[in-house]
Structure 1
């Protein structure tokens, strides 16, 4: 009897120490435009573990606030495909409006998605799969970002050279801010007071004050081939990582003073960016090399490349 009790105690104790390891599981998800697939990579091993078919030309992707669903914008089908995050199986889909490209998930769970061909941002309730609002924006909308408190949504319109500020409560445009040629993506500061916008053709990054829409600072990347696309804020709340497009570099920018601190060589036509939950690893989609680069954010060096599908576009991380 004593041996049984001791064994049970050891099992319980062992279980206590095992359980935390389950939470260390984390994945990278990559959309592949030409393979019509999503590649799934284990962050711990940095190995490809699965590739799933999702439909014609997947691009943007995102996660429900409660981690219950993963959303994929399938541009060639005008749909959002929904992936169950434990099995990584497509479970359902719903209409997204024409030509979905990028989107952002609001803290409420609503999806704000750019419909490039029709100059529109659609607001979708994923629980019903219905479009609940349509917002007319500039020509060829692309990037979408949401402030930390959900009060402001920013949509960039490539051919109008504008960043549109949209109210998160009534979905009305509150400001239209002129930025550099072909704005692609944006991200907010940690406190939501500023938004940073990349402009591909002009090679610029604009820092905009949210309260009044004033462009308070702007930098132009010096390298001739620098065509900034994706942008995100590091976990320190101060550092920006910027994908340089055909410059094949990641730019490290001080968000306070807007100075370029460093650059990191990656694969060809770097496009999308994502950080691990710890912030220690940065993942880039290198479209023309059909790979992702894995960057150690402390040393600012590439530690591995992982081959994925054809022409990777978007990337995100997911931790169960």
Structure 2
């Protein structure tokens, strides 16, 4: 068992490809619960379309935080940024989007887009917000750093909802009047293929690994499953007027609200069969998972409340009264997990010190990593007594000569040197998605070393871990 560490911790991290959320972590990684970045119980944001406001539910207590937040006329959809700091609300009758500071619950900007904005989605990375303008047949793109709106992108007839691939490179836009999904290249703004789905497609969601798109077809009672690699489709009967789709953070289950039979259907993603039917309130619309996947929040439009579903028991455990005609629910996305390959550890004794060398490779999350603004933590050893070094946000400095982000200093009495180097890969919202990482940590002690040894890297809320054999 580890007590403390003395020595050198040297890690190399290559972020490659796109992988899914927390439960996609391979069983062999053996990550200890205490190494997972803590995420406070998030707030659920509920648009009350006839009240022109947003209710905020504290998901830890399911209490509504009053007063409600006034927004524009007939707010329909809401999306929360990956860091949970902002929520964006489409005001369908006002032709604009309200930006909410989730700390102060204040409106920080009102951004005019197209006519009758419906679906709103934050591109992975958090910089850009995409809005489906239902009456214009366009998509508006907001740069959240300036609130500037790019020229609109023409899509299909009556765009309703937008869902992003985990990589952030592709947006899927449901077109409710021509029964199609437009596939939008989010890096160029070009519309590529168009996929035919069921009648009157409304909500949609992409699996955490990006392999499948699930589309709720309001007009024919089905969900279309689109294979994103080849565009092939299949259909799942679900209920009357399916409205919204939410996929669990582990990618194993899909929840679909059926507006006219007051139920939520649960689909097993492995078989694409309906496994459960959960009665909820009247005319269920929006559906959203909590980041840990243990709860689902369902906005019931005509009953003026939100059903809270326990995803283990598949039962409603709470009903929360909100405003008039609640339409959608927005929650902070789950932390993303790196996929880790072949970590190795090595020790070399120097006088009375030990040096620990670790090399491991991780798959990129869809959010990328932002070392300049996020805390970086390296953990080696079991959860009972690990060596844990956390470099605070904004500690890394840009080295213009090498192109690296560097840190040198003392953390908790340990001498730490760390460096990130971006690879020449496509960017997500202006940030590299592949990095190499090295760190050296000295002046901590190592005792009673045993195998296997968990090695974990955390950047912001994203993390990866795997047990490495002891040398």
Query: Taking structure 1 as the reference length, what is the TM-score of the superposition?
Result: 0.88
Preserved contact between residue 83 and residue 332 of structure 2 (Cα < 8 Å): no
**Gapped runs of 5+ residues in structure 2?**
1-37, 334-460, 462-471
1:188 aligns with one of 206, 228, 251: 206
Q: Within the alignment, does 1:70 sit opposite 2:84 as a pair? A: no
2 CA distance for matches of 1:317 and 1:96? Answer: 23
Preserved contact between residue 133 and residue 171 of structure 1 (Cα < 8 Å): no
**What does the per-residue CA deviation read over 1:290-320, in whole Å, with 9 as the maximum and x for residues that have no partner?**
0000111100001111110000001012499
5 Å-filtered alignment, 1:146-225, equals 146-215=164-233, 217-221=234-238, 223=239
> How far off its partner does 1:104 sit?
1.0
Higher gyration radius (CA) = 2
Q: Which has the higher contact order (CA 8 A, sep 6+)?
A: 2
2 CA distance for matches of 1:92 and 1:122? Answer: 16
2 CA distance for matches of 1:167 and 1:288? Answer: 37
**What does the per-residue CA deviation read over 1:134-162, in whole Å, with 9 as the maximum and x for residues that have no partner?**
22111111010000001210000111000
2 CA distance for matches of 1:112 and 1:49? Answer: 27
2 CA distance for matches of 1:72 and 1:102? Answer: 9
* Alignment-derived partner of residue 83 in structure 1: 100
1 CA distance for matches of 2:145 and 2:250? Answer: 34
Moved more, 60-69 or 238-247: 60-69
* Alignment-derived partner of residue 54 in structure 2: 38
Judging by fraction of residues, say which structure has more helix: 1
1 CA distance for matches of 2:289 and 2:85? Answer: 20
Structure 1 residues 191 and 91: alpha-carbon distance in aligned structure 2, compared to 1, 3 A threshold: same
> How far off its partner does 1:270 sit?
0.3
1 CA distance for matches of 2:244 and 2:329? Answer: 10
* Alignment-derived partner of residue 252 in structure 1: 266
2:45 aligns with one of 25, 29, 35: 29
* Alignment-derived partner of residue 142 in structure 1: 160
Q: Within the alignment, does 1:282 sit opposite 2:296 as a pair? A: yes
Preserved contact between residue 282 and residue 302 of structure 2 (Cα < 8 Å): yes
> 1:118 aligns to what SS in structure 2?
coil
1 CA distance for matches of 2:177 and 2:137? Answer: 10
> How far off its partner does 1:23 sit?
5.2
2 CA distance for matches of 1:107 and 1:235? Answer: 15
**Gapped runs of 5+ residues in structure 1?**
1-21
Moved more, 41-50 or 111-120: 41-50
1 CA distance for matches of 2:42 and 2:206? Answer: 24
How many residue pairs were aligned? 296
> How far off its partner does 1:34 sit?
0.4
Moved more, 271-280 or 282-291: 271-280
* Alignment-derived partner of residue 137 in structure 2: 119
**C-alpha RMSD over aligned residues:** 1.8
Preserved contact between residue 89 and residue 97 of structure 2 (Cα < 8 Å): yes
